[in-house]
Structure 1
């Protein structure tokens, strides 16, 4: 198993989780994978990139999860994979891409159940970013030029989608503190403050575990 250090970031919509991940990666001199992960998974699996965009962190209510994971080790050319529903193909391809990236380099990975995919990696720091609803609404309004009502609706729908996706594919609960090493309120600590806290925690981990 690789000794690379990987920071995974789960996030509420509008909490600046992606921005925090990008700034953290920049300060650490490593890559940050968000939408880039979709391109990598599409390329390696041979599936159309548009499929990954359409199914990205979307919930599912069909098929059996156990059958999905049983198929994981068989590869993309197996008949079981070929016959599998598209949403499960997308998940498995991303799951595989996350593991490959973690084996190749130290990095930051935003969303997409990365903490679950790397559950056996000792050098993985799992973070969840959340924020007050009013702050998230303000952020989305400014970023996408939406009304407050539309921003609030988008936040609720996106969070519900991410939660359903995460809870279905993992053995944990999205946003539950026990699922992560750190849970940070970006309304209180801000983007730069969150980055500093994560870096400080990472340094503590590295001192406590010399092999990192």
Structure 2
């Protein structure tokens, strides 16, 4: 198996759980928060920097000024002159490429589809669901009332969208930005995972790579 699976997701759609199920069933590594640890190790930047900047396009100037003192490991003047959020993104970008070079895996969020868009082994997926399904899930997970769950969803979706649109040339959640878009509200967690695995098998077997339209004009 060669396929690397990137999963973008709406907050509350179950993207993390779906990705974990796919990785477990295929027997391949899974990276979500684990990517932050890898990027910190690879770059020499403090782990807390990655956690604070995680899927956020910008941060306060004061925080950047203070936390920038923790950064080390890069001798390039260009790197040193970068704003902190740019350093973090670049470090994650490079770690994603290293992970993909090590073999098949599942990577959640962090513009992995953009970092690997030239990789022929990439299968990019976006998980979404209707707002009511997501409100129920988040309310249940965090013990929130529906209105608070809805507010958290809007806040997190806005952050992820801004982050993705800020760093890539694509639009977060748009079907044109991914190979496969799945509604987990309709197919469920297990069904969404199965669809991804089927797509991987199709990709691995080369099915659909030379489709010819035989319809008459």
TM over 0.5: yes
Q: Rg: which structure is higher?
A: 2
Shift >4 Å, 4+ stretches: none
Q: Is the 8 A contact 2:126 2:182 kept in 1?
A: yes
Confirm or deny that 1:151 pairs with 2:136. Answer: no
The residue that corresponds to 2:99 in the other structure is 101
Residues 9-35 of structure 1: CA deviation (Å, up to 9, x unaligned)? 000000000000000000000011000
The residue that corresponds to 1:111 in the other structure is 109
Deviates more, 1:193-202 or 1:109-118: 193-202
Deviates more, 1:100-109 or 1:76-85: 76-85
CA distance in 2, matches of 1:4, 1:96: 19
What is the CA-CA distance between 1:150 and the residue it aligns to? Answer: 1.2
The residue that corresponds to 2:7 in the other structure is 9
CA distance in 2, matches of 1:202, 1:96: 24
The residue that corresponds to 1:198 in the other structure is 196
The residue that corresponds to 1:120 in the other structure is 118
SS of the equivalent of 1:9 reads strand
Q: Residues 15-26 of structure 1: matches in 2 within 5 Å?
A: 15-26=13-24
Residues 99-121 of structure 1: CA deviation (Å, up to 9, x unaligned)? 00000121000000000000110
Equivalent in 133, 138, 145 of residue 135 of structure 1: 133
SS of the equivalent of 1:208 reads coil
Root mean square deviation, CA, Å? 1.6
The residue that corresponds to 1:208 in the other structure is 206
CA distance in 1, matches of 2:18, 2:10: 12
What is the CA-CA distance between 1:203 and the residue it aligns to? Answer: 1.0
CA distance in 2, matches of 1:184, 1:76: 40
Runs of at least 5 residues in structure 2 that lack an aligned partner in the other structure: 61-72, 208-217
Q: Residues 82-101 of structure 1: matches in 2 within 5 Å?
A: 82-101=80-99
What is the CA-CA distance between 1:206 and the residue it aligns to? Answer: 1.4
The residue that corresponds to 2:39 in the other structure is 41
Residues 85-135 of structure 1: CA deviation (Å, up to 9, x unaligned)? 111111000000000000012100000000000011001100000001011
What is the CA-CA distance between 1:152 and the residue it aligns to? Answer: 0.7
Deviates more, 1:79-88 or 1:177-186: 79-88
Q: Residues 40-59 of structure 1: matches in 2 within 5 Å?
A: 40-59=38-57
Q: Name the TM-score, length of structure 2 as normaliser.
A: 0.87
Instruction: Count residues with an aligned counterpart.
Output: 195
What is the CA-CA distance between 1:77 and the residue it aligns to? Answer: 2.0
Q: Is the 8 A contact 1:21 1:110 kept in 2?
A: yes
